[in-house]
Amino acid sequence: MTEDPDRPGIVLTEQQKRSRRGRSIALAIVLVLLVVLFYVVTLVKGPGVLNRPI
Amino acid sequence: MTLANDGVKIDEAGTTPQISLASPRDFFDLMKPRVMSLVVFTALVGIVAAPGTIHPVIGCAALLCIAVGAGASGALNMWYDADIDAVMERTTERPIPAGRVTPGEALGFGLVLSVFSTMTLGVLVNWLAASLLGFTIFFYAVIYTMWLKRWTAQNIVIGGAAGAFPPVIGWAAATGGIGIEAVLMFLIIFFWTPPHFWALSLVRSNDYARAGVPMLPVVSGTAETRRQILIYAAVLAPLGVSPWLAGYTGLLYGAVSLFTGAVFLALALRLWRANDATMEAPAWKLFFYSILYLFVVFAAWLVEALLGLGGAGPGGVAAWFGGGAA
């Protein structure tokens, strides 16, 4: 996608775009890992995972 | 400061854009990875040494939560101490003083991780471990960082409790309770912390003085600090052996803790005998050795637990007197 210099707003530099992309990818990886973690633990603990005494 | 256009920050004048250049690596650095590694290791020992069994997946989930919780408290610490970090030579390259992460980003990161790690540990493992983790984060970020660090020379003595909790959290994750062995692990780290940090602060006292942090060498002088290091080392050395003496660990741990504790004491003694002109080398030596000491002592406990050599073996003094742990 090319930037339109006449477009209003802030135009990010290449470095800013790179760091934002890096943060987005890291966040996506963390979210996927979190889903996998909860999925696997649910399998390990069985259907009674939420049925626990406090 | 306002937010606009996908997190782009605009200053009060509304003219100069301040766009974050923080990389994932910067956020990782906010979590104090080196401290986190020690936390993970001691927590692992707490999990493995605990009686009974824990499913490996649950154990790994607990370790992950403890690691992230430790990282969260590190991020909150860096957020609050950014002014100190900026004037201390050792910390000027941290993400906030270096300008790579804004204080607001660090605060948000630390808070989100604190809540997530604690709640996840509670949901996936148990709520005692989660409560201990939450308390540890609070203790490190609020009691130590915001209160003790800038107020008293005993900052790292009391604040050391935060670093001593991980094996207890690990133990609680595995058992749902707290055993005497976990308390001994806590005490070992608690009494290890002051000589470890004071050895460093002896050679960095100018840094701390410039930042206005009342570390012991700054407030009471180097001679008193060396004396206090020796006192804590004299308590730590026998305390390190106490799990064996009480019959909770076997001969391997007893021999390792006895030898490494004696070396720790000898290095502290050498530092105590030094003077201001000659203390730098023995202080560095004690600082690096202290890291090795903690690692080796806990590694011995871990090995015994993995090999089933621990417990009230024949090496336990308590067993000699007909006692010892069941």
Bigger pLDDT: B247 vs B309: B247
Q: Which among B151, B113, B177 is positioned nearest to A27, based on CA atoms?
A: B113
Buried b (16+ CB within 10 A) or exposed e, B15-25: eebebbebbbe
Strands B8-10 and B17-18: antiparallel
Q: Is the pTM of this model over 0.80?
A: yes
Cross-chain residue pair A23–B22, CB shorter than 8 Å: yes
* Other CB atoms within 10 Å distance of the CB of residue B275: 9
* Other CB atoms within 10 Å distance of the CB of residue B273: 12
B180-326: CATH topology: Four Helix Bundle (Hemerythrin (Met), subunit A) (1.20.120)
In a domain, A24, yes or no: yes
The size of the A-B interface in CB pairs under 8 A is 45
* Helix, strand, coil abundance in chain A, percent, nearest 5: 65, 0, 35
What residues of B are in contact with residue A23 (Cβ under 8 Å)?
20, 22-24, 27
Q: Please give the Cα distance from B304 to B263 (Å, whole number).
A: 22
Q: Please give the Cα distance from B36 to B41 (Å, whole number).
A: 9
pLDDT above 80 (res B51): yes
In a domain, A37, yes or no: yes
In a domain, A3, yes or no: no
* Structural class in CATH, domain B28-178: mainly alpha
Q: How many domains does chain A have?
A: 1
Contact B119, B130 (CB under 8 A): yes
pLDDT above 90 (res B14): no
pLDDT band for A4, please (50, 70, 90 cuts).
low
In a domain, A18, yes or no: yes
In this predicted model, what pLDDT tens digit does every residue of B291-301 receive, in sequence order? 999 999 999 99
* Sign of the Cα pseudo-torsion (A53, B70, B307, B235, in order): negative
* Most confident region among A39-48, B207-216, B226-235, B310-319 by mean pLDDT: B226-235
Contact B45, B305 (CB under 8 A): yes
Q: Which among B31, B37, B5, B32 is positioned nearest to B109, based on CA atoms?
A: B31
What residues of B are in contact with residue A51 (Cβ under 8 Å)?
none
Query: Judged by CB atoms within 8 Å, which residues 7-46 of A form the interface with B?
Result: 9-10, 12-13, 15-16, 19-20, 22-23, 25-26, 37-38, 40-41, 44-45
In a domain, A7, yes or no: no
What residues of A are in contact with residue B57 (Cβ under 8 Å)?
40-41, 44
Domain range for residue A34? 14-44
In a domain, A28, yes or no: yes
Cross-chain residue pair B19–A16, CB shorter than 8 Å: yes
In a domain, A52, yes or no: no
Contact A46, A38 (CB under 8 A): no
What residues of B are in contact with residue A46 (Cβ under 8 Å)?
none
pLDDT band for A53, please (50, 70, 90 cuts).
low
pLDDT band for B207, please (50, 70, 90 cuts).
confident
In this predicted model, what pLDDT tens digit does every residue of B251-277 receive, in sequence order? 999 999 999 999 999 999 999 999 989
Q: Where are the domains of chain B?
A: 28-178, 180-326
In a domain, A29, yes or no: yes
The whole-number average pLDDT for the span B286-291 is 97
Q: Which among B95, B115, B114 is positioned nearest to B105, based on CA atoms?
A: B95
pLDDT above 80 (res B201): yes
The whole-number average pLDDT for the span B106-133 is 96
Residues 6+ apart with CB under 8 A from B29: B94, B95
SS3 of B18, please?
strand
